[in-house]
Copies of this chain bind each other. A is one copy, B any other.
Amino acid sequence: MIVKMSKQNPEVLAALEALVAPVGGEVRQLSFPFGTFLVALGLENPSLKKIQAMDGVLWARAAGSKPVLAALEQNPERTTVALGRMEVGGEALAVMAGPCSVEDRDQIFTAARFVAAFGATALRGGAYKPRTSPYAFQGLGQPGVELLREAADAANLPVVTEVMEPNDVATMAPFVDCFQIGARNMSNAPLLKAVGRAGKPVLLKRGPSATLAEFVLAAEYILLEGNAQVILCERGIRTYETATRNTLDLNAVPVLKGMTHLPVVVDPSHGTGRREAVIPMSRAAVAAGADGIVVEVHPDPSRARSDGDQSLHLPEFRRLMEDLKPVAEAVGRRLDIPETLPFAANQVPLIRRSAGWGGSR
């Protein structure tokens, strides 16, 4: 049962605890900017009438197979998530950029410095890497996390990085601004709970065969730990198409916006798997209404230890930002690009569009 409170009333808490006690359930008090809730877990088909009649209760309802806390109706004003100098979900677009994996000091410092110079709002990079083959590069682990932190600090950016198991959350937390839950772990309830409790922003990626309804329910697991700082990330779904690594489902953007108050960003790197499609699909994501993008950028993609084919070169990232800005403005958003570069312009030349109109042809 979920109860929305208009004011504190310890009697409601007591009443709920009396209800769950016999079934070994649990009551949680959750305070969000959009309201205070009491959630009684473990009840099946609870009787709501008595609770509904209590003082301070706005409403009480049974919780079942649909999200409640993450549902749009709980916060029609929409949630924004503070990350570094910006609010994800606000007018300005979030651009989380960086290499797939943290590989070495030089690589990550170079990446951080340049993406910051071109307007990225967060540095992303993997230290714990979920890989299909146990023989593939598994990431640098905790030293990689710390290297990422150093590089981000030098560039004045917040850090977004993936966590793969509950046990790592506490160790990583001091170095991380936003925990990423990778696509393969979208349904990993213990991990969702652990990052929920960490009290930091979470970038939750959609599972490769998750429906949008399941996606929002995964976010609900995090909110149920009292953490509403969740950013949803569409990153492509698995279909029969082989021309691309995944099928980027941009329908997800308007549909999620109609389902939930959480911000929605898009990862065109995993969503296409092809470097040349990243810029057009970033533009498309923003035009569809996304609150930002997550994009892989590497100083030398040909030598990347993972995902080189989909990583942008530094000049391509610069071109991406230049191209994205007018699209953002066309849909009433903002993309802030520093006016001056902190290095000679010819270090990362502005490449020309690949053809005709907006690089699209």
Contacts A288-B284, A358-B289; A164 near B190 (Cβ below 8 A): yes
Stoichiometry (number of copies): 4
Contact across chains for A220 and B133 when beta carbons are under 8 A apart: yes
Contacts A285-B284, A288-B283, A330-B330; A254 near B239 (Cβ below 8 A): no
Interface window among A30-38, A49-57, A111-119, A243-251: A243-251
Contacts A133-B66, A135-B63, A288-B281; A243 near B214 (Cβ below 8 A): no
Contact across chains for A254 and B238 when beta carbons are under 8 A apart: no
A288 partner residues in chain B, CB cutoff 8 A: 280-281, 283-284, 287, 360
Q: Indicate with 1 or 0, residue by residue over A234-259, a CB within 8 angstroms of chain B CB atoms.
A: 00011111111001111101110110
Interface window among A150-158, A271-279, A341-349: A271-279
Q: With A and B bound together, what is the CA distance between A313 and B338 in angstroms?
A: 42
Q: CB < 8 Å: which of B67, B247, B281 contacts A239?
A: B247
- Contacting B at CB under 8 A, from A14-65, are 41, 44, 63-65
User: How many chain A residues touch the partner (CB < 8 A)?
Assistant: 88
Q: Chain A: residues with CB nearer than 8 A to chain B?
A: 41, 44, 63-68, 78, 91, 130-138, 164-167, 184-185, 187-191, 207-209, 211-214, 217, 220-221, 224, 237-244, 247-251, 253-255, 257-258, 271-272, 274, 276-277, 280-281, 283-290, 323, 326-327, 329-333, 356-361
- Excluding A64-B135, A280-B288, A327-B327, 18 further A-B contacts by CB distance (< 8 Å) are A41-B135, A65-B132, A67-B133, A130-B187, A165-B165, A209-B240, A211-B243, A237-B247, A239-B247, A241-B251, A244-B255, A247-B251, A250-B284, A251-B272, A254-B272, A255-B277, A332-B357, A333-B360
20 A–B contacts from the bound complex (CB under 8 Å): A41-B134, A63-B133, A63-B135, A65-B136, A68-B135, A133-B217, A134-B221, A134-B224, A164-B189, A165-B165, A166-B167, A185-B188, A209-B209, A239-B240, A243-B255, A254-B360, A287-B288, A288-B360, A290-B360, A333-B357
